[in-house]
Amino acid sequence: MQCVINRRAQFSASHRYWIPEWDEAKNKQVFGACSHFPGHGHNYVLFVSLWGEIDQYGMVENLSTVKQVIKGEVTSQLDYAYLNDVWEEFQTTLPTTENLARVIWQRLADHLPIVKIQLFEHPQLWAEYQGNAMKATLTIQTHFSAAHRLALPHLSLEENTEIYGKCARTHGHGHNYHLEVSVSGEIDPRTGMIVDLGKLQTIVEDYVVEPFDHNFLNKDIPYFAEVVPTAENIALYIAQLLEKPIKDLGVQLEKVKLIESPNNSCEIYCGASAESFKTPSQQAPQLVTLH
């Protein structure tokens, strides 16, 4: 029986986004406050995913051994370190979150059957790397508060209540939505970035957070005049809004995850991620999963 197991680790480190052959103006233009001397720090959280067969002892890998490998090869070297200087790989490519995840994979791949590295720079920004050359995925998280009512316009209150329960009540109700936007692309061999993070955050703010926040979606967002603003439909619409402007940044929108409440969330998979979920008979470009 095959299984994926995950091991968590953490370390605190600092880094600076600065390319010596650029002048100060260009460094500030590309990296913003991240270019400030002498750098800044993060409490990183690392998840190492391993794949294999469950053995006679009920394990894919002995977690005590996994812990020691991660400590010896990664965390003991990075904890309380200045990342730009600690590993030679960062002399040519900056220690961004996505590049750091890639290099950690390279450090562990000879010792463990890795299938994914997930590295959190902080709870609202993380990267994933799956061993695909210079390709990585970066995820940002944000939030907005909005109200909605779940009701089909052509049905009566009684009929809508039969379908949507309390969510069909005429005055609607609200949520503090948490939104995760994942993009994928090639890590630049010099900057270590797959995308200009500031521009990505601005797109999400301008296309989603600002128009959605503190609004009644059924009335204030024209799209939902006829489309019921379920979590699934909201996430799908957000993906449609973001796909082109994100593509214009030179990266691919991979996933939109909308967390409506601690008990209810949905995910829209786009591009290659959607293809991996499709059966031969499926033609739709998006897949919705609820959990």
What is the pLDDT, as a whole number, of residue 137? 98
3-state SS assignment for residue 45: strand
Closest among 289, 144, 153 to 227, alpha carbons compared: 153
Q: Could you tell me what percent of the chain has a pLDDT over 70?
A: 93
Mean pLDDT, range 237-262, rounded to an integer: 97
Mean pLDDT, range 80-105, rounded to an integer: 97
Q: Mark whether 36 is an active-site residue.
A: no
pLDDT higher than 60, residue 285: no
In the chain, where the domains are located? 1-131, 132-291
Write out the DSSP string of 216-280: EHHHHSGGGGTS---HHHHHHHHHHHHHHHHHTTT-EEEEEEEEEETTEEEEEE-HHHHHTT--T
Q: Do domains 1-131 and 132-291 have the same CATH topology?
A: yes
CB-neighbour burial class of residue 83 (10 A; exposed 0-12, middle 13-18, buried 19+): buried
Kindly report the pTM of this predicted structure. 0.91
C-alpha to C-alpha distance for 45 and 31, rounded to whole angstroms: 23
Mean pLDDT, range 111-118, rounded to an integer: 97
Task: Tell the CATH topology of 1-131.
Answer: Tetrahydropterin Synthase; Chain A (3.30.479)
**Of 3, 162, 214, 226, which is the active-site residue?**
214
Residue tagged 């067969």 (tokens): 53
Q: How far is CA 116 from the centre of its chain?
A: 14
**Of 128, 180, 254, 260, which is the active-site residue?**
260
Residue 156: band (very low, low, confident or very high) from pLDDT cuts 50, 70, 90: very high
**Of 111, 167, 178, 205, which is the active-site residue?**
167
132-291 is classed CATH 3.30.479.10: yes
Q: pLDDT tens digits, residue range 134-143?
A: 999 999 999 9
Mean pLDDT, range 5-30, rounded to an integer: 97
Q: How many alpha carbons fall within 13 Å on the CB side of residue 102?
A: 24
Q: Mark whether 260 is an active-site residue.
A: yes
3-state SS assignment for residue 59: coil
What is the pLDDT, as a whole number, of residue 245? 98
Q: pLDDT tens digits, residue range 172-229?
A: 999 999 999 999 999 999 999 999 999 999 999 999 999 999 999 999 999 999 999 9
Q: Mark whether 167 is an active-site residue.
A: yes
Closest among 91, 96, 79 to 35, alpha carbons compared: 96
